[in-house]
């Protein structure tokens, strides 16, 4: 089956309870611009939630740009990410001039995430 890089509805976290459970799990990886909160899930795919607060960027245009960029990064890498609920929280405002640095940070966070979650997956017995 060919991989489609469409971001399907099942890959988005929308409900408040989903966000709360990930934040309560208390696993986080941070960089200068982004913080990644994660929790292993039972779904067959990674799911994404985004948090861009008004304290980070006052204008909705800026917040929406940041969401769009992060959603696109996730969409392109969704098949390389372990099955986790993932919340990306923006810690510092970024613009188009910071795009390359944000891309590098996101890639690094995903690499670290896969190492951490991959280790715990190998420790637990496979469910057949």
Residue 66: closest CA among 35, 38, 39: 35
Give per-residue pLDDT as tens, 88-111. 999 999 999 999 999 999 999 999
Q: Which domain holds residue 13?
A: 9-123
What average pLDDT does this structure show over 3-14?
81
Q: What angle do CA 19, 47, 7 make, to 5 degrees?
A: 130
Distance CA 21, CA 107 (A): 24
pLDDT band for position 44 (cuts 50, 70, 90): confident
Q: For residue 45, what is the domain's CATH number?
A: 3.30.230.10
Distance CA 107, CA 77 (A): 9
The answer to whether position 114 is within a domain reads yes
For 27-45, b where at least 16 C-beta lie within 10 A, e where not — what string? eebebebbbbbbbebeeee
pLDDT of residue 128: 46
The answer to whether position 128 is within a domain reads no
Residue 39 to residues 85, 96, 99: CA-CA distances in angstroms?
Answer: 5, 30, 27
The answer to whether position 3 is within a domain reads no
The answer to whether position 4 is within a domain reads no
Number of domains composing the chain: 1
């Amino acid at each position: 089956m060919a991989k489609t890089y469409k971001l399907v509805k099942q890959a988005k976290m929308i409900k408040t309870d989903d966000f709360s459970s990930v934040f309560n799990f208390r696993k986080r990886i941070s960089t200068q611009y982004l913080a990644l909160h994660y929790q292993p899930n039972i779904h067959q795919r990674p799911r994404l939630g985004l948090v861009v607060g008004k304290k980070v960027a006052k204008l909705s245009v800026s917040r929406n740009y940041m969401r769009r960029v992060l959603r696109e990064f996730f969409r392109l890498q969704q098949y390389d990410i372990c099955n986790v609920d993932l919340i990306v929280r923006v810690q510092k405002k970024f613009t188009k001039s910071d795009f390359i640095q944000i891309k590098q940070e996101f890639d690094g966070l995903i690499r670290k995430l896969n190492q951490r979650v991959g280790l715990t997956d190998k420790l637990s017995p496979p469910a057949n």
